[in-house]
Amino acid sequence: MSNDDILLQVEDLTTSFRIDDQYYPANDHINLDVYENEIVAIVGESGCGKSAFGHSIMGMHSQEQTKISGKIHFKGADLLSYSNTQLNKVRGKEISMIFQDPLTALNPLMIVGKQIEEGMKYHTKLSKNKRKQKAIEILSEVKIPQPERVYSQYPHELSGGMRQRIVIAIAIACEPSLIIADEPTTALDVTIQARIIDLLKELKRRMKTSIILITHDLGVVSEMADRIAVMYTGEFVEIGETKNFLKNPLHPYSKSLLHSLPSKNNQGEKLHVIKGVVPSLNHLQRQGCRFKPRMSGTDDSIHEETPTLREVEKGHWVRCTCYKHFQIDNHNQVVEGEKDDVFQGQ
């Protein structure tokens, strides 16, 4: 990957929400590059700021409730400097979004074929007949059986899995170069989830689209993503290639998350539990390491005031001054590591 292949470059993005006349950042000085033809997963627990991030890129936040600063470079322009009219030309054409709940994303009163054509109507000069033809093609592309028939059906006549395929069909109708998929399979059964995962991977291979995959499910990430970015209280705490990350997670939060999942390997063991809860936006302590209140037995002398995201091996970034000190054993218990192993920075 070289700099030429960067499709989206998020620079110092801060998105703050208003709560009782004060603004609190839900994304705090975020930096992330998304390359062409790449799936990057944004992972983290409920409320950590994943959707806020996706919505910032799509320009979907209400202006009265939200303050945004930083830059979102996309194909040479800064999306944050765009007017609504300019954004409308990008949204649905160059960048599109897939939402968690297919029912709320679809118009219940319009046949699905017409919903797929909406974007084409706005963004292309295709004739009515051509649009219909294309919509049917897209329906078969997302593996809908009998596409001609389904074209004229209403959302309520379709199963949950079919509806999510329609949402995907709408998203890919104008062949965008970036898709933001916010929990695209969370509302679905496992068998349907598996098929949607395989479908999205195939579409990416064929159309060379990049996908920002927002999810809290590490299994889904492992199956789909090339890279993974772990978010905690509005900051990335670890970024790395999926394979490498899963074999060798570095940040204590990442390690803890992986050990809290039931798996073949930890059968019969108690699962790892992170103490405490994720603080809400207006109660978050923003000084120092934000994960510190969730850790036990950390040694103040080896902590930096505020850890920054550092590249510790090629393409692997971590926001923690002493990650080597934190290990979890096969019984999902925290063990004390060697102090001299502590990472000292550059």
Partner 1 sequence: MTFFKVNNLKVYYPIRGGIFRRVVNHVKAVDNINFELKRGETYALVGESGCGKTTTGRTVVGLTKATSGEVIFNNLDLTKCNRKQIRETRREIQMVFQDPYSSLNPKKTVYDIVAEPLRNFENLSKSEEREQVEYFMWKVGMSRDSLFKYPHQFSGGQRQRVGIARALTLKPKIIIADEPVSALDASVQAQVLNFMQDIQEEFGLTYLFISHDLGIVRHMCNRIGIMYKGKFVEEGTREDIYENPQHIYTRRLIASIPELDTDQHQNSELLRKNIEEEYQKENDKYFNEDGSVMDLKPVSDTHFAALR
Ligand X SMILES: Nc1ncnc2c1ncn2[C@@H]1O[C@H](COP(=O)(O)OP(=O)(O)O)[C@@H](O)[C@H]1O
In the complex, which residues of this chain contact partner 1 (CB under 8 A)?
Answer: 45-46, 160, 189-195, 197-198, 201, 216-220, 222-223, 242-243, 246-247, 256-258, 260-264, 266-267, 270-274, 277
The item of ligand X, ligand SF4, Mg ion, none sharing an interface with residue 292, based on CB under 5 to 8 Å by kind, is: ligand SF4
Q: Which residue has the tokens 């160059």?
A: 94
Binding residues for Mg ion restricted to 32-51, rule: CB under 5 A: 51
Distance in angstroms (rounded) separating the CA atoms of residues 316 and 239: 6
> Least distance in Å: CB of 321 to ligand SF4?
5
Distance in angstroms (rounded) separating the CA atoms of residues 41 and 224: 8
Which residue in 295, 312, 334, 342 binds ligand SF4 (CB under 6 A)? 295
The item of partner 1, Mg ion, ligand SF4, none sharing an interface with residue 298, based on CB under 5 to 8 Å by kind, is: ligand SF4
CA angle 46, 190, 101 (to 5 degrees): 50
Assess 316 for contact with ligand X (CB under 6 A): no
Assess 47 for contact with ligand X (CB under 6 A): yes
Q: Which of 13, 52, 18, 46 is nearest to 278 (CA)?
A: 46
C-beta separation of 94 from 8 below 8 A: no
Distance in angstroms (rounded) separating the CA atoms of residues 137 and 205: 18
Distance in angstroms (rounded) separating the CA atoms of residues 209 and 137: 18
Q: How many residues line the site for Mg ion (CB under 5 A)? A: 1
Which residue in 298, 324, 332, 334 binds ligand SF4 (CB under 6 A)? 298
For residue 206 the two structure tokens come to 């064929």
Distance in angstroms (rounded) separating the CA atoms of residues 14 and 53: 9
Distance in angstroms (rounded) separating the CA atoms of residues 192 and 31: 33
The item of ligand SF4, partner 1, ligand X, none sharing an interface with residue 243, based on CB under 5 to 8 Å by kind, is: partner 1
Q: Which is nearer to ligand X, 49 or 307 (CB)?
A: 49
Which residues bind to Mg ion, rule: CB under 5 A? 51
Q: Summarize as ranges the residues that interact with ligand SF4 (CB under 6 A).
A: 252, 289, 291-292, 295, 298, 303, 307, 320-323, 326
